[in-house]
């Protein structure tokens, strides 16, 4: 039913507020209300929103008014900027102007005239005079309607100067043309968020209109009498917030005082508000709870709370004193004691729990039960919340309780006189404990046993505290009576062993018998027919003499045997009797022998004294046997062991073996161990003691170990080759190499065997030859007449020079005799035999040379297949000089002879090379880069000719090289300049020059070009390098400073029009990152100029140049220049069209270059008119 009521409320609210979409929160128990509540889809027509914007369609300035006063007089300047704009239909534009005249004129300067004028379509619409322009900065000067308009801003100043002569920037003006608009819009959304019982914030979102080219649009909003403003991008979505009032428009419609699990109070809205959500804390438990309600009227909202009381009445139980135990509505006490009791209840009010006593009293009794308490009780509770007061009566039924006054008593189970029992036997006595009310009983069993004979009584009192902590008793104690008796056991005899220190010792594995005597403890008479059990579990009956006999066989152990009398069930009837038997033997251990253990035998050197340490121990515990006699009968030696069981036997011999048993005995036990020891020497024997062969040849040698004791070979002995550090076991096989020359020795020794092992030696001889004396460590060689004693050489020679190698003596390594008949050869690095010779008493000698430059490697060595020996390594550099010369160019007044010297074998430059010229007879030394430079005079030559470069043998290089290869000459050509064509743009420029020889009229094209875009340019240009291929020459140039060409050529004049006395000029910046400083327009060949100002990156401006009468020529050459770019020049005629020429900044250099290329003897057939024409082309 409650769910259906909520559903009806939801449907009713949806019908009433059909224009809005509100979320109805279904109330749930124990739901915590959120800290805030959010509303969406609130009314959007309650807020007013308006907007306005402006768009700049043209912005520019006039530049500074610049006055240059050279002396007393009146000076002035005028600056103008013009904008051509078109206003679309339905729009209008405003014109704002700003004049900056904050810089005052210096003293001695008097402003006679000053104005700022704005013209629209030729009509003056705004003017400022000599007043302070800056105070009217960016005033709205005019409004433009739809259509095309020409807007011109002009500033002027005229000053009378009497002092402080010089140049000044006085003032400038800017103009900004903007399209403006405004309107109203409606909000897209209206949301709100309220803090529970706290603040409320409303949020409106709206979209600004899209206006092409407009950056930001200003807006203003108004809601509930509060205004807020802001701005945003065109077409963007904006959000504005307002602080609202938390509307508390609801109340309770049912009691605010309820029982636990009762219905939570219902609520209803007030005025024109509706409920959007209800949260409550349920009625699951007592306490003051809250209801949170969210309300709205479509525009304003509220989220507030109210309280309600959940109450209950409860029975707290029985409060009792004087009892031993309480269990719910039952309580126990000792009989005859006094008990105070009370029953308590509690109920919940707005102040919390209230506790009260419903009934109480005092009781006593003996073994009796009594009823106490019980009844029905009521209490009233009231509560008020949100102007509502409710009252509720709570009722509870209190149950009755029962008091138990009780005592404990004891009874025996079975007879109390138990008769005769054996000593050590365990007897169980049972006693029953119960209470006087018949609510509890239990049986306890007590085990008793005695070790002395006699009659004994056992008394048990009633147990207390075992039931409900009752301690009072009734009745009496329970008493049991028992008479006690026992057997005695003793070990009478042990046969098969001997007694040592309280223990019987027997040989391990032998049989031993033990007799046990049993008698009564009271009179000492033997007890026959008694079961005796030993510690191994065996049972034997005693005979008429009271004796039971046991037999045992054990190995290597110490056994403690125990005996006890038992009944037929195995229960013990007596104390234990015991005896200890040690079953053991003697064992010998060889601890150490002064010798080497090898394959089961000990080996010791001849005549050495070998000590043998033997330890004697018992086999059961491995403990030492002191004082035992140790004998080694093969050697006839004996000795007693010490306290540690160790005996030391000392033996010696020569080529003899001792083998037998080492025996030990302690007088009762004995043992032995086998031992073999050999006294001998060991010889290492190689299969061959000497080897000979080809150098590098491998040979095999086998090393054996032989005993002198019996001349037997012993396998498995480790042998080490000392030089190779290789270890192998006998028979040990080793691979050895014949040495390259002379002989070598291989030593072999035993590794880790007897110290008396004798090593062996193997000698290896080579079949090689030696260059020089037999005992010398280095060879004897004569290289090009100079004695040497090395194995490797490096020599530098002129190509075709002879290389001689002489080896005066060639001998065998083995015996030092002359190696007659051996062939010695010179072999190149590719294996080719260059020269060969057979050894004689004079040795060998070789001569050879190379005709091609290069680095050659040779080896001098024996050529016979089976003979090795010394090898000589020779690196021979056969080389010459390669001198490369270039054409001579005449740029100044002196010709420069240019050539480079290289090594012919590797192409590297030659430094410090003296060279001589054939015609001019000069001597020059090359620099570290191999460059040769000779300044030559006209008097040295009679026209075009060939100059040869010579290297003289008597003036050779420090290396001794003097030969040259190729044609070391330079062709000197006298050229005349004939024509020139020059083109260029902001990325570079090209100049084509035509040159011809005075003799054969051979034309040679000549190109000058900029190399790359990245280098910078300054006021002059230098030559980088010259390239020539006998028909063309290229001269490369690049600027000095590190500035890019794109930036240096960024200043450009465009749309130049010459009409009457006025020239209109458009000035553009072609770079995107450079500000062009102090731009000026000049007229060539005059002092007339106009200051324009700075030009920003990528910007464009227009200006007008009014020419004085004397400069109104046709055509006129204009030059645009600045502080940080190359000047740009145009030539303009008084007619439509443009004639933009190349950059004039490089003209002086090109002119100088062309003039210096002319024939200095003026023999050219070119006419004066042609020369003038060429100069005009350059200009």
pLDDT score of 94 more than 70: yes
The answer on 707 and 659 residing in a single domain is: no
Tell me: the pLDDT tens digits for 762-788? 878 777 788 888 777 788 899 888 888
pLDDT score of 16 more than 50: no
The answer on 523 and 422 residing in a single domain is: no
Domain-located, residue 164 = yes
Q: What is the mean pLDDT of residues 493-522?
A: 86
Tokens of 202: 């409303």
Q: What is the mean pLDDT of residues 448-454?
A: 82
CB 717 within 8 A of CB 730: yes
Percent of the chain with pLDDT over 70: 84
The answer on 654 and 639 residing in a single domain is: yes
The answer on 992 and 932 residing in a single domain is: no
Which domain range does residue 716 map to?
682-766
The answer on 519 and 476 residing in a single domain is: no
Alpha carbons 512 and 31: distance in angstroms, whole number:
93
Domain-located, residue 725 = yes
Report which listed range, 54-68, 586-600, 957-971, 1164-1178, is most confident. 54-68
Q: Higher-confidence residue: 835 or 25? A: 835
Tell me: the pLDDT tens digits for 96-126? 999 999 888 898 999 999 999 999 999 999 9
Q: What is the mean pLDDT of residues 299-318?
A: 93
**CATH code of the domain in which 699 resides:** 2.60.40.10
The answer on 743 and 857 residing in a single domain is: no
Position 978 scores a pLDDT of 46
Return the SS3 of 48. strand
Q: What is the mean pLDDT of residues 483-512?
A: 85
Q: Higher-confidence residue: 694 or 617? A: 617
Confidence of residue 1041 (pLDDT cuts 50, 70, 90): very low
Position 189 scores a pLDDT of 95
- Look up tokens 């040769």; give the residue: 932
Report which listed range, 12-16, 891-895, 934-938, 1157-1161, is most confident. 934-938
The answer on 672 and 595 residing in a single domain is: yes
**CATH code of the domain in which 892 resides:** 2.60.40
Question: Measuring CA to CA, which residue among 748, 744, 771 is closest to residue 759?
Answer: 748
Confidence of residue 944 (pLDDT cuts 50, 70, 90): low
Asked which of 155-169, 288-302, 741-755, 1152-1166 is least confident by mean pLDDT, the reply is: 1152-1166
pLDDT score of 92 more than 70: yes
pLDDT score of 887 more than 70: no
The answer on 870 and 807 residing in a single domain is: yes
Domain-located, residue 1085 = no
Position 697 scores a pLDDT of 80
Position 30 scores a pLDDT of 41
Alpha carbons 1029 and 1048: distance in angstroms, whole number:
33
Rounding to the nearest 10 degrees, give the CA dihedral for residues 1167, 1169, 1175, 1179. Answer: -160
Alpha carbons 241 and 325: distance in angstroms, whole number:
71
CB 1137 within 8 A of CB 1084: no
Position 1111 scores a pLDDT of 86
Tell me: the pLDDT tens digits for 385-405? 988 999 999 999 999 999 999
The answer on 624 and 566 residing in a single domain is: no
The answer on 870 and 805 residing in a single domain is: yes
pLDDT score of 323 more than 60: yes
Position 229 scores a pLDDT of 93
Domain-located, residue 238 = yes
Domain-located, residue 108 = yes
The answer on 1002 and 967 residing in a single domain is: no
Asked which of 259-268, 644-653, 980-989 is least confident by mean pLDDT, the reply is: 980-989
Provide the domain count of the chain. Answer: 10
End-to-end CA distance of the chain: 109
Confidence of residue 1179 (pLDDT cuts 50, 70, 90): very low
Domain-located, residue 828 = yes
CA angle (994 as vertex; 992, 1000 as ends), nearest 5: 160
Question: Measuring CA to CA, which residue among 248, 246, 240 is closest to residue 199?
Answer: 246
Return the number of other C-beta atoms located less than 10 Å from residue 277's C-beta.
Answer: 20
Position 592 scores a pLDDT of 85
Tell me: the pLDDT tens digits for 179-199? 888 889 999 999 999 999 999
Tell me: the pLDDT tens digits for 253-302? 999 999 999 999 999 999 899 999 999 999 999 999 999 999 999 999 99
- What pairs with residue 457 in β-bridges? 481
The answer on 890 and 873 residing in a single domain is: no
Domain-located, residue 1053 = no
**Structural domain ending residue among the three candidates 914, 946, 972:** 972
Residue 1176, φ and ψ in degrees, nearest 5 = -65, -40
Alpha carbons 904 and 255: distance in angstroms, whole number:
121
CB 1131 within 8 A of CB 1138: no
**CATH code of the domain in which 135 resides:** 2.60.120
Domain-located, residue 1119 = no
Instruction: Report the chain's mean pLDDT, rounded to a whole number.
Output: 81
**Structural domain ending residue among the three candidates 154, 180, 206:** 180
């Amino acid at each position: 039913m409650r769910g259906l009521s909520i559903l009806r409320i939801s449907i009713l609210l949806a019908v009433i507020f059909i224009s809005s979409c509100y979320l109805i929160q279904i109330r749930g128990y124990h739901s915590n209300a959120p800290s805030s509540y959010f509303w969406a889809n609130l009314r959007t027509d309650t807020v007013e929103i308006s907007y306005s914007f402006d768009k700049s369609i043209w912005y520019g300035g006039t530049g500074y008014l610049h006055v240059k006063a050279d002396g007393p007089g009146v000076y002035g300047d005028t600056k103008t900027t013009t904008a051509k704009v078109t206003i679309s239909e339905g729009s209008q534009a405003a014109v704002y102007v700003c004049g900056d005249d904050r810089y005052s004129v210096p003293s001695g300067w008097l402003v006679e005239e000053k104005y700022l004028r704005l013209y629209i379509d030729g009509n003056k619409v705004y003017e400022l005079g000599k007043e302070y322009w800056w105070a009217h900065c960016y005033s709205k000067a005019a409004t433009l309607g739809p259509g095309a308009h020409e807007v011109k801003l002009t500033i002027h100043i005229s000053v009378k100067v009497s002092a402080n002569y010089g140049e000044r920037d006085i003032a400038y003006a800017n103009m900004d043309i903007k399209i403006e608009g405004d309107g109203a819009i409606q909000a897209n959304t209206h949301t709100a968020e309220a803090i529970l019982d706290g603040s409320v914030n409303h949020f409106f979102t709206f979209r600004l209109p899209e206006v092409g080219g407009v950056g930001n649009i200003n807006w203003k909003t108004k809601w509930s009498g509060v205004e807020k403003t802001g701005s945003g991008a065109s077409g963007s979505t904006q959000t504005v917030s307002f602080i609202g009032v938390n509307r508390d428009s609801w109340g309770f419609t049912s009691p605010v005082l309820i029982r636990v699990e009762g219905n939570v109070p219902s609520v209803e809205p007030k005025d024109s508000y509706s409920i959007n959500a209800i949260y409550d804390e349920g009625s699951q438990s007592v306490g003051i709870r809250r209801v949170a309600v969210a309300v709205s009227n479509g525009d304003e909202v509220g989220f507030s709370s109210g309280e309600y009381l959940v109450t209950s009445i409860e029975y707290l139980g029985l409060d009792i004193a004087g009892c031993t135990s309480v269990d719910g509505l039952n309580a126990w006490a000792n009989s005859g004691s006094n008990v105070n009791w009370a029953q308590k209840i509690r109920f919940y009010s707005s102040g919390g729990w209230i506790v009260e006593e419903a009934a109480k009293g005092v009781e006593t009794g003996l073994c009796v039960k009594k009823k106490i308490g019980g009844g029905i009780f009521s209490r009233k509770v009231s509560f008020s919340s949100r102007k509502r007061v409710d009252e509720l009566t709570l009722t509870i039924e209190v149950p009755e309780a029962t008091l138990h006054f009780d005592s404990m008593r004891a009874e025996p189970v079975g007879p109390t006189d138990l008769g005769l029992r054996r000593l050590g036997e365990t007897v169980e006595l049972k006693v029953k404990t119960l209470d006087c009310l018949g609510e509890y009983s239990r049986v306890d069993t007590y085990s008793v046993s005695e070790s002395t004979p006699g009659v004994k009584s056992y008394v048990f009192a009633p147990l207390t505290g075992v039931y409900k902590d009752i301690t009072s008793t009734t009745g009496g104690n329970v008493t049991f009576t028992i008479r006690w008796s026992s057997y005695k056991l003793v070990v009478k005899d042990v046969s098969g062993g001997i007694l040592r220190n309280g223990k019987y010792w027997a040989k391990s594995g032998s049989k031993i018998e033990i007799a046990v005597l049993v008698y009564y403890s009271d009179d000492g008479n033997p007890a026959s027919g008694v079961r005796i059990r030993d510690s191994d579990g065996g049972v034997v009956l005693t005979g008429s003499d009271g004796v039971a006999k046991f037999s045992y066989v054990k190995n290597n152990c110490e056994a403690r045997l125990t005996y006890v009398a038992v009944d037929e069930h195995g229960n013990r009837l007596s104390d234990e009797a015991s005896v200890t038997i040690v079953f053991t033997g003697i064992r010998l251990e060889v601890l150490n022998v002064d010798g080497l253990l090898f394959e089961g035998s000990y080996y010791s050197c001849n005549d050495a004294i070998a000590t043998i340490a033997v330890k004697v121990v018992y086999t059961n515990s491995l403990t030492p046997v002191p004082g035992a006699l140790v004998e080694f009968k093969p050697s006839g030696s004996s000795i007693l062991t010490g306290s540690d069981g160790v005996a030391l036997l000392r033996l010696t011999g020569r080529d003899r073996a001792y083998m037998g048993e080492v025996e030990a005995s302690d007088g009762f036990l004995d043992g032995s161990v086998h031992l073999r020891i050999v006294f001998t020497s060991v010889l290492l024997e190689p299969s061959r003691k000497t080897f000979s062969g080809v150098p590098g040849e491998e040979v095999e040698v086998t090393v054996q170990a032989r005993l002198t004791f019996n001349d037997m070979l012993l396998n498995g002995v480790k042998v080490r080759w000392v030089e190779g550090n290789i270890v192998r076991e006998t028979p040990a096989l080793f691979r050895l190499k014949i040495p390259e020359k002379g002989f070598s020795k291989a030593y072999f020794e035993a590794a880790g065997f007897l110290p008396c092992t004798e090593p062996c030696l193997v000698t290896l001889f080579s079949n090689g030859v030696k260059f020089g004396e037999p005992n010398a460590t280095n060879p004897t060689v004569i290289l090009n007449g100079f004695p040497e004693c090395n194995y490797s050489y490096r020599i530098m020679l002129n190509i075709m020079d002879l290389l001689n190698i002489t080896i005066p003596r060639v001998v065998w390594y083995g015996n030092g005799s002359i190696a007659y008949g051996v062939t010695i050869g010179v072999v190149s690095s590719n294996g080719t035999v260059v020269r060969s010779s057979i050894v004689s008493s004079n040795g060998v000698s070789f001569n050879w040379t190379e005709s091609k430059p290069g680095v050659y490697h040779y080896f001098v060595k024996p050529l016979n297949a089976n003979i090795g020996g010394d090898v000589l390594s020779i690196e021979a550099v056969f080389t010459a000089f390669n001198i490369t010369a270039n054409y001579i160019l005449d740029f100044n007044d002196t010709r420069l002879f240019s050539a480079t010297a290289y090594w012919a074998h590797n192409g590297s430059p030659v430094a410090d090379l003296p060279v001589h010229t054939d015609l001019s007879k000069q001597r020059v030394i090359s620099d570290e880069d191999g460059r040769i430079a000779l300044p030559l005079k006209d008097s040295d030559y009679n026209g075009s000719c060939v100059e040869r470069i010579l290297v003289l043998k008597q003036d050779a290089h420090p290396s001794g090289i003097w030969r040259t290869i190729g044609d070391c000459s330079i062709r000197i050509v006298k050229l005349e300049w004939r024509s020139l064509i020059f083109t260029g743009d902001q990325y570079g420029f090209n100049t084509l020059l035509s040159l011809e020889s005075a003799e054969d009229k051979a034309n040679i094209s000549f190109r000058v070009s900029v190399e790359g875009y990245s280098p910078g340019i300054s006021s002059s240009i230098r030559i980088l390098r010259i390239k020539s291929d006998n028909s063309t020459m290229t001269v490369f140039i690049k600027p000095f400073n590190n500035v890019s060409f794109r930036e240096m050529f960024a200043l450009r004049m465009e749309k130049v029009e010459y009409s009457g006395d006025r020239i209109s000029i458009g000035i553009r910046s072609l770079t995107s990152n450079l500000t062009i400083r102090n731009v000026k327009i000049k007229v060539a060949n005059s002092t007339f100029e106009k200051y324009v100002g700075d030009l920003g990156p990528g910007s464009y401006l227009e200006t007008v140049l009014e020419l004085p009468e004397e400069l109104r020529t046709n055509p006129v050459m204009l030059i645009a220049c600045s502080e940080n770019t190359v000047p740009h020049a145009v030539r303009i005629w008084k007619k439509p069209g443009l004639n933009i020429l190349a950059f004039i900044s490089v003209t002086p250099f090109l002119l100088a270059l062309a003039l210096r290329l002319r024939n200095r003897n003026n023999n050219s057939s070119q006419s004066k008119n042609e020369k003038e024409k060429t100069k005009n082309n350059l200009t």
